[in-house]
């Protein structure tokens, strides 16, 4: 009698679903990073979504479809879940990089996310006589009185080639703790000033340039907090004679005495103009011209720009409403007088300094935050640049009197400045394109070279070298060369994220982030 032969059922591990998930994940990552032209932060968001979906599918395969012995499946799953649970209970996201990569920190860290005052909770006021009697004040420097330098355009009139700091990194002159915020330093007369957030207060702080000691601090109740954007004030103060202007993260414009920090006048601009705090905080630095203070009025405000008297704080005039941005107003010497240039959300406009009206307006079309200040160029030309994959444009301005118009020369995506500003020399523009250093031809917008990932840092241009402060706290000195980049010197100045603009009050270089500030003397002091 023939007996029927049966094939035993295959009870081995079922690998093919895992292989399919692995292939799908690899393909999706390839498309996200190499198949679609998009900003790096969009690639990071896509990567997180891909890994999340992949993780769910892997867990589903492991628990349901793998055919691994049940006890082993549950045991390993419990161990992995336990480790992840401990990590979640002990770690927290304290911030993100400029490309939206999470920055993790311990939940029990000594300095909580609200920040602690690194200095004694007192206000110290020292008058001008201290500068004449205390040897610690006996340092001389160039002035650096406003955002991006003397002319508000990243240009510093100093020749650095051949100096010792390009061969050997300089020693730290002083280093001090800082409150939170993305404000830069300004310097005049042996004093260095910046904005900070101390707990639930925002402050304008004045330090001795020669020692880093706190001299005075002007405080007011205000706090901006954001895991993504970071805490604290973002605007850099402006020094004008014996006055210092600061703009807080919620639109508090303050004018204080340079010597003592005594409040002269203030305006809650957003409240007075019916505006509100932009999503990522109020960041434009005050513009001072002809004894007038000019600032944007905020998101949804009745006015676009408002003008105050420097001495009295009286409101002088308001300009027509435009959508607020994170860029700072500046001036251009075109026509018979200066124009006020403002790169707002969705366009760039020129305003008459005498009459509260537009002279010209050019739509830009970007729905993303505009941060970089426009680059004022010879021949009545203007370069604007935005991040988030948008790009740059070169505009030609024509007109006289009150009759002006703007036309587009070129528009391209070779330079996409997100947080940083750009600089021009001899017909070539240098800047950070989504975190990578790039040089483009000003006349055509075509890329000359692109090399060196420095993150979303900042830059200043000297007569013969380019200073780049990286997002990770490195300092890079490089040649100004449209043919190829050449790094002259590099050192680590700060730890942690550094979005703050540098201050180069020669011979002093002051850098800071939301934790500390460091000062270098780039040449020997006499």
Using one digit for the tens of pLDDT, what is the confidence trace for 496-510? 999 999 999 999 999
> Is residue 458 within 8 Å of 503, Cβ to Cβ?
no
Q: Which residue pairs from 138-143 have beta carbons closer than 8 angstroms and sit at least 24 positions apart in sequence?
A: 138/210, 139/190, 139/209, 139/210, 139/508, 139/525, 140/190, 141/187, 141/190, 141/209, 141/505, 141/506, 141/507, 141/508, 142/187, 142/505, 142/506, 143/187, 143/188, 143/189, 143/239, 143/505
Q: Which of 357, 361, 334, 335 is CA-nearest to residue 348? A: 361
Answer yes or no: is 119 within a domain.
Answer: no
Name the phi and psi angles at 430, rounded to 5.
-120, 135
Answer yes or no: is 488 within a domain.
Answer: yes
Q: How far apart are CA 213 and CA 146, in angstroms?
A: 21
Specify the pLDDT at position 4.
Answer: 52
Q: What is the pTM of this model?
A: 0.90
Domain boundary among 85, 106, 127: 106
Taking residues 455-470, report their average pLDDT: 97
Tell me how many domains the chain contains. Answer: 3
Answer yes or no: is 394 within a domain.
Answer: no
Q: How far apart are CA 142 and CA 460, in angstroms?
A: 15
Question: Could you tell me the CATH number of the domain that includes residue 490?
Answer: 2.130.10.10
Domain boundary among 294, 325, 356: 325
- Angle between the 40-60 and 16-30 helix axes, to the nearest 10 degrees? 170
Specify the pLDDT at position 127.
Answer: 37
Residues with Cβ within 8 Å of residue 154, at least 6 apart in sequence: 148, 421, 422, 423, 459, 460, 461
Four-residue CA torsion sign, 286, 287, 292, 297: negative
| The token pair that represents 363 in the structure block | 């739509």
Q: How far apart are CA 395 and CA 380, in angstroms?
A: 9
**Cβ count near 296 (within 10 Å):** 33
Whether pLDDT at 524 is above 80: no
Indicate whether 170 and 79 sit together in one domain: no
Indicate whether 209 and 302 sit together in one domain: yes
Indicate whether 203 and 314 sit together in one domain: yes
B/e letters for 79-110, b = 16+ CB within 10 Å, e = fewer, are: eeeeeeeeeeeeebebbbbbbeeeeeeeeeee
Q: How far apart are CA 343 and CA 348, in angstroms?
A: 4
Taking residues 374-399, report their average pLDDT: 96
Q: Which residues constitute the domain of residue 321?
A: 189-325
What pLDDT, in 10s, does the model give residues 13-43? 999 999 999 999 999 999 999 998 898 989 9
Answer yes or no: is 310 within a domain.
Answer: yes
Specify the pLDDT at position 111.
Answer: 45
Q: How far apart are CA 518 and CA 173, in angstroms?
A: 8
Specify the pLDDT at position 107.
Answer: 84
Taking residues 239-257, report their average pLDDT: 98
Query: Which of 99-103, 152-156, 281-285, 397-401 has the least mean pLDDT?
Result: 99-103
Q: Provide the pLDDT confidence category of residue 11 given band limits of 50, 70 and 90.
A: low
What pLDDT, in 10s, does the model give residues 180-230? 999 999 999 999 999 999 999 999 999 999 999 999 999 999 999 999 999
Q: Where are the alpha helices (DSSP H) in 110-221?
A: 129-133
Indicate whether 193 and 321 sit together in one domain: yes
**Cβ count near 159 (within 10 Å):** 11
What pLDDT, in 10s, does the model give residues 57-71? 999 999 999 999 999
Domain boundary among 276, 302, 325: 325
Answer yes or no: is 350 within a domain.
Answer: no
Indicate whether 197 and 172 sit together in one domain: no
Indicate whether 453 and 502 sit together in one domain: yes
Indicate whether 310 and 206 sit together in one domain: yes
Omega cis (within 30) before 507: yes
Indicate whether 157 and 203 sit together in one domain: no
| The token pair that represents 507 in the structure block | 């011979």
| The token pair that represents 44 in the structure block | 């990071």
Specify the pLDDT at position 2.
Answer: 52
Residues with Cβ within 8 Å of residue 81, at least 6 apart in sequence: none
Residues with Cβ within 8 Å of residue 389, at least 6 apart in sequence: 37, 38, 39, 42, 413, 416, 434
Q: Average model confidence (pLDDT) for the chain?
A: 91
Answer yes or no: is 409 within a domain.
Answer: no
> Is residue 350 within 8 Å of 331, Cβ to Cβ?
no
Indicate whether 320 and 193 sit together in one domain: yes
Specify the pLDDT at position 126.
Answer: 39
Indicate whether 222 and 311 sit together in one domain: yes
Helix (H) or strand (E) holding 436: strand 436-441
What pLDDT, in 10s, does the model give residues 322-347? 988 999 999 999 877 899 999 999 99
Q: Which of 451, 464, 459, 299 is CA-nearest to residue 375? A: 459
Indicate whether 203 and 321 sit together in one domain: yes
| The token pair that represents 327 in the structure block | 């860029």
Length of the chain, in residues: 526
Answer yes or no: is 346 within a domain.
Answer: no
Indicate whether 206 and 306 sit together in one domain: yes
Specify the pLDDT at position 117.
Answer: 45
Q: How far apart are CA 363 and CA 101, in angstroms?
A: 32
Within 121-213, strands assigned E span: 172-177, 186-188, 191-198, 201-208
What pLDDT, in 10s, does the model give residues 92-151? 888 899 888 988 888 876 444 344 444 433 343 333 333 433 445 557 889 999 999 999
Q: How far is CA 390 from the centre of its chain?
A: 17
Answer yes or no: is 133 within a domain.
Answer: no
Whether pLDDT at 489 is above 90: yes
Q: Which of 266, 262, 263, 256 is CA-nearest to residue 124? A: 262
Taking residues 358-387, report their average pLDDT: 93
């Amino acid at each position: 009698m023939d007996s029927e032969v049966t094939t035993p059922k295959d009870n081995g591990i079922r690998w093919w679903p895992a292989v399919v998930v692995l292939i799908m994940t690899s393909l999706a990552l390839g498309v996200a990073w190499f198949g679609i032209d998009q900003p790096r932060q969009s690639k990071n968001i896509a990567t997180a979504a891909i890994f999340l979906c992949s993780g769910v599918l892997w867990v589903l395969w492991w628990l349901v479809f793998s055919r691994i012995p049940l006890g082993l499946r549950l045991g390993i799953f419990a161990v992995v879940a336990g480790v992840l649970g401990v990590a979640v209970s002990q770690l927290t996201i304290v911030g993100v990089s400029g490309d939206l990569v999470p920055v993790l920190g311990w939940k029990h860290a000594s300095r909580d996310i609200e920040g602690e005052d690194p200095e004694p909770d007192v206000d110290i006021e020292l008058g001008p006589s201290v500068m004449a009697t205390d040897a610690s004040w006996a340092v001389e420097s160039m002035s650096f009185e406003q955002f991006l330098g003397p002319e508000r355009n990243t240009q510093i009139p100093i020749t650095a080639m051949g100096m010792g700091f390009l061969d050997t990194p300089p020693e730290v002159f002083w280093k001090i703790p800082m409150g939170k915020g993305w404000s830069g330093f300004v310097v005049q007369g042996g004093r260095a000033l910046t904005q900070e957030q101390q707990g639930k207060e925002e402050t304008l702080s004045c330090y001795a340039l020669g020692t880093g000691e706190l001299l005075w601090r002007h405080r007011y109740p205000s706090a901006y907090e954001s895991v993504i954007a970071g805490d604290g004030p973002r605007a850099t103060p402006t020094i004008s004679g014996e006055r210092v202007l600061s703009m807080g993260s919620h639109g508090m414009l303050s004018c204080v005495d340079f010597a003592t920090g005594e409040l002269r006048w203030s305006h809650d601009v957003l409240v007075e103009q019916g505006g509100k705090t932009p999503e990522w905080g109020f960041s434009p630095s005050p513009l001072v011209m002809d004894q007038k203070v000019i600032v944007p009025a905020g998101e949804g405000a009745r006015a676009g720009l408002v003008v105050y008297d420097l001495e009295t704080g009286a409101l002088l005039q308001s300009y027509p409403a435009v959508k607020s941005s994170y860029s700072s107003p500046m001036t251009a010497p075109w026509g018979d007088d200066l124009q006020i240039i403002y790169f707002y959300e969705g366009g760039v406009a020129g305003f008459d300094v005498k009459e509260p009206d537009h002279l010209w307006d050019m739509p830009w079309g970007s729905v993303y935050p505009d941060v970089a200040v426009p680059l004022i160029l010879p021949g009545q030309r203007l370069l604007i640049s935005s991040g988030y994959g948008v790009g740059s444009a070169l505009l030609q301005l024509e007109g006289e009197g009150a009759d002006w118009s703007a036309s587009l020369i070129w528009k391209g995506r070779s330079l996409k400045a997100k947080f940083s500003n750009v600089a021009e020399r001899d017909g070539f523009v240098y800047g950070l394109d989504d975190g990578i250093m790039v040089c483009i031809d000003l006349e055509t917008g075509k890329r000359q070279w692109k090399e060196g990932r420095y993150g979303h840092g900042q830059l200043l241009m000297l007569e013969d070298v380019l200073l780049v402060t990286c997002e990770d706290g490195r300092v890079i000195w490089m040649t100004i060369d449209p043919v190829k980049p050449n790094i002259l010197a590099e050192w680590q100045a700060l730890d942690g994220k550094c979005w703050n603009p540098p201050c180069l009050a020669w011979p002093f270089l002051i850098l800071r982030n939301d934790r500390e500030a460091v000062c270098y003397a780039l040449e020997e002091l006499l």
